[in-house]
Amino acid sequence: MIRTNDLSAYRTLQYNMSKTSSSLNQLYVKTSTGQQVDKASDAPSLVRTIITGRSDIIVGERYIENCKHVQNSLSTAETAIDSMIDLLDRAKEIAVAAANDSLSQSDRDSYTDEVIQLEENLLDLANMQADGKYIFAGYNDQVEPFSGSPVVYNGTGDHQEIEISSGIRVAKNITGSELFVSPVDIFTTLTELKSALQGGNTTTISSQLTSIEDAAEQVRRQQNFLGNTSARMDDIIAVHESSLLLVNEKLSQAEDADLTEVLSEVSKLELSLEATMQVTSRVSSLSLFDYL
Amino acid sequence: MSNLITALHIGASGIYTNQTGVQVTGNNITNANTTGYSKQTANVTSSSSLTQGGLIYGTGSTVNTIDRSGDIFITKQLVAQSAVYGEYEASSSPLADIEAILSISENSLSSDIDNFFDALETLSTNPAGTTERQSVIQEAEDLASHFQEIEQQLGDVIKGINSSIESEIPELNDQLQQIADFNKAIMITETASGNANTLRDQRDLLVQHVSETCGCSMYSDENGMTCLQLEGGLPLVTGPAASILSVNQIDGLSQITLSSGQSSFTLEGASFGGSLAGLLSVRDEIIPQYQNNLDQLAYVIATEVNTLHATGITLNGNAATDLFTLTASSSPTANAWDNAAASITVNFDDTSLLATSTTGETGDNSLTLAIADLRDTAIINGSTLTEEYARIAADVGLQVSSNKDKLTSNTELLNTISDKRDSECGVSSEEEMLLLIQYQSGYEAAANYLSVIKEMIDQIMTI
């Protein structure tokens, strides 16, 4: 027969009571913080999910920022390009109009003046600045990229790349050389148009149309590139946004307390604590002493 | 007549026996809540008989001995289980400290790593920007100082463990000396008369305390003295002599030495059980392992970033220096990464010294991109930097939760054994009440018997 006595009864009750109340306390903390996993020991297997999840959120949000940064940067270039297309259209109109034999040289001279104006506009566009930096200068973005007569390119042929997704980079700039110089040097095109107008030979003037058209083509290619890149950024932003949603959800599953579950656990433990307390008060109420 | 006088003595023995019984029961009842007390029983035997006229007469009863309940097997179980309990109990507090230091909160080291690389990503969008450069240097400083802070805090945990050990030792010495003294006292008492029940209870309790502190096994020598030794066999108490433990600091760590007679031994964690084993294993195995992990992490971050950064050209057109500086450990046997977490600092706070490129051109962000790529590269033990931190933090979590589980199950086991001991040796008030009634009625019967004898003697005297 196992003899039981008050000492072991009290020991058991005390142990269970402190165990229940400490579990209960942990649940209270979970309810108030809303967090299931507060310390690594709460769920060691979820630690990696939580830490890499938080990291993924920072990275994902940065990639979205970077995509928007690329779009902003390219849209500044796009305004310049739009103006260039207008400018080249006007040059083409001038070449077509001036190739007319019935035009007098003084008419052609006023066209020449306009072309000189266009050259200046083109130079302004080529040296366009945003946020204190020359946008068509490659890496050398704090030095005026186009200067001199004839105009030469002083920038570099580099693309400033931005990471928009793990291991994927896109150029946020168009270099002055690919837009203005190579393969068609638009400054030369205008200069040649200007000298053709000054020379007054209609055949020479109309022969300029081809190189103006080539120049316009070169600019449109870059415009297409900008449009495509910008659209691609929208796609990539959408991809990042949906993966951020997933990561957030996963993180919340790992980290956040399921309040319904916690609360039902709380009421279960409270009941058990109450029962333990009631039993404790009765331990010594039944005694042989009462009958002596 | 002579027979009636003998009968008087027999009645008196009944009175004495029951009185003693009541006394023993009273002692049991009053000690029902005394820790370590073992129930005592009056061992009643019948007195030696007399031969008279060819008949053998009994001469009443006597309390031969007052016995103490006890089970050496349960006592040994308690001693062994106390050691296991003590080990997990002692390591739980420093482990919880380590868990808080290597936390998984939003301000953990991994967020500093994330923020550093995020600042680099931002810099890559505006490589010449002073604000962006400033923010990279700031985040690098935060990262470096977090490493140092963790190192400092782990050092504080070690100091805390040292002072726990230092405060355990004097008490342990005191307990060992008391056990040795009890050994002597018990022998003297028991050689003179009867059982030294109370002294034995106190000695058993002390042995249990000693085992909880340092883990020990017990045996009785030929004189019935309790001898204690450490798991490895080194003597703690040998009969009436106690060994002396002393602590001194070597390289910032409290080192325990045991002196027994003329010889002394330096003790490692493995020599002990109980709370000393728990504390020493956290201090000598667990913390150094995490320090090593963090050193590697700091070393890899610093050297990988430096290797790339040093290939760069600053905005001034000069060759770039290291971004982080480390001071290598002076020990010739040290690993390359030792001391990295404690010594990592940022080399400069002048934003123009930060290189974003290998050309020095203002718009060139290629080097920054390359450094930022380290974030996604498996550069440490086959993992990325944050994954490595997650591994370390998860490992701490596992240690803590496994220690917690072991502590719970061993506390329950200790309770079970204590219950078993109480069932065997503890005082049950109900039982004692029954004995009290028994002795009371025995006393009453003996008294009645005496009055009958008295009447008989009176009758004879009046003849």
With residue B255 as reference, give the H or E element that holds it: strand B253-260
Position A286 pLDDT exceeds 80 = no
Cβ-based contacts under 8 A for chains A and B: 174
- Nearest by CB to A44, which of B110, B397, B408? B397
Assign A118 a pLDDT band (cuts: 50, 70, 90): very high
From the candidates A5, A13, A283, which should be mutated to test the interface with B, based on the most B CB atoms within 10 A?
A5
CB within 8 Å: A5 and B422: yes
Report the pLDDT value the prediction gives residue B2, as an integer from 0 to 100.
Answer: 61
- Rounded to an integer, the average pLDDT of A200-213 is 91
Whether the CB of B270 is below 8 Å from some CB of chain A: the reply is no
Average pLDDT over residues A119-133: 94
Distance CA B35, CA B126 (A): 74
Chain B stretch 1-20, residues whose beta carbon is closer than 8 A to a beta carbon of chain A: none
When pLDDT is cut at 50, 70 and 90, the band that residue A281 belongs to is confident
Give residue B216's region: left, alpha or beta (phi > 0; psi -120 to 50): beta
Contact at CB, A3 and B431, closer than 8 angstroms: yes
What does the alpha-carbon distance between residue B43 and residue B30 come to, in Å, rounded to a whole number?
19
B66 SS3 class:
strand
Q: A153-189, pLDDT tens digit by residue?
A: 999 999 999 999 998 999 999 999 999 998 999 999 9
- Has residue A6 got a pLDDT over 80? no
Tens of pLDDT, residues A104-116: 889 999 999 999 9
**Mean per-residue pLDDT, A38-49:** 92
CA atoms of B266 and B135, how far apart (whole Å):
52
Enumerate residue ranges in chain B where pLDDT < 70.
Answer: 1-2
Per-residue confidence (pLDDT) for residue A290, from 0 to 100: 76
| pLDDT reported for residue A22 | 92
Q: Measuring CA to CA, which residue among A276, A289, A268 is closest to residue A10? A: A276
Residue A1 has pLDDT above 70, yes or no: no
Helices (H), B282-363: 287-309, 340-343
The Cα B140–Cα B304 span in angstroms is 13
Q: pLDDT band for position A200 (50/70/90)?
A: confident
pLDDT at B315: 87
| Whether B427 and A5 lie within 8 Å, measured CB to CB | yes
For the cut 80, the answer to whether the pLDDT of residue A33 exceeds it is yes
Q: Which residues of A touch B419 (CB under 8 A)?
A: 8, 11-12
* pTM recorded for the entire structure: 0.88
- Quote the CA–CA distance of A144 and A132 in Å, as a whole number: 11
Residue A9's pLDDT band (cuts 50, 70, 90):
confident
The rounded distance, in Å, linking the Cα atoms of B88 and A130 is 65
Give residues 116 to 155 of B whose Cβ lies within 8 Å of A.
118, 121-122, 124-128
Question: Are the Cβ atoms of A163 and B372 closer than 8 angstroms?
Answer: yes
Q: How far apart are CA B147 and CA B297, in angstroms?
A: 9
